[in-house]
Structure 1
């Protein structure tokens, strides 16, 4: 592939990057990270809750593991599945899988009106908060030491 000069590159701002575009950025960053570290261990991680009859995913979490770190990206359960321990079980399974992959730490962010208390209850610790809208809310960044068995 011939690299275009910086003056010939078209810059586009979009709210709808295509999956191919996103993959190109992700894969390019991964190649750079491997070149710098010599470690090629980036893998997706998902724990999904499925309807037993339809097999349709009804909730769960997604993230990834890389360079000894588990990134928890998305976690959602519909209201009917909350409060009975399913979320705790899903989180524990994800953390256990991350440990099995050699991760020593985990990181995530949530919003102050979402679930920081849930994560705190499971041993996560607040690293910081950044104000966001609506006024009075914040993004809450949390981490967990996975080197300690639960």
Structure 2
């Protein structure tokens, strides 16, 4: 009989992640190739003021896509073009590395309007996540 139980273990999480990657690799040449040396371009940039981090962006480029994971600017420095500079920096490098499209996720209370201002369109909406808000999947053609 199968026994199912709760387990709180980083090793277990890594094991399941590895097993899913193995399955993906065996069924999709894109998944297997994307982990080869040089296939993923990591694009992480920091914005500093007097040596202090006031913003940053974390992104990856692969499969012809820019995938923006995080973009943050300190509240005291918002609306000064820093977010735009960070976004444009990674978009330009992604284009130089063959990316034609960009994607990201953002909550309604975060930066949806900011991304729309720079050409991102809504691809999907998860409503009431978190409750009384929404979660947006957005994309942009970089060409």
Aligned twin of 1:25: 17
Normalising by structure 1, report the TM-score: 0.73
Q: Which runs of 4+ in 1 moved over 4 A?
A: 10-13, 21-24
Normalising by structure 2, report the TM-score: 0.77
Change (3 A) 1:13 1:123: farther
Aligned twin of 2:138: 142
Taking the aligned partners of 1:143 and 1:17, their CA distance within structure 2 comes to 32
User: 5+ residue gaps in structure 2?
Assistant: none
Q: How many residues align?
A: 135
User: 5+ residue gaps in structure 1?
Assistant: 1-6
1:45 aligns to 2:43 (yes or no) = yes
Q: How does 1:1-150 map to 2 (within 5 A)?
A: 13-14=7-8, 17=10, 25=17, 29=21, 32=25, 36-37=29-30, 38=33, 40=36, 41-53=39-51, 56-131=52-127, 132-135=129-132, 137-146=133-142, 148=143
Taking the aligned partners of 2:118 and 2:46, their CA distance within structure 1 comes to 19
Equivalent pair of 2:55/2:82 in contact (CA under 8 Å): no
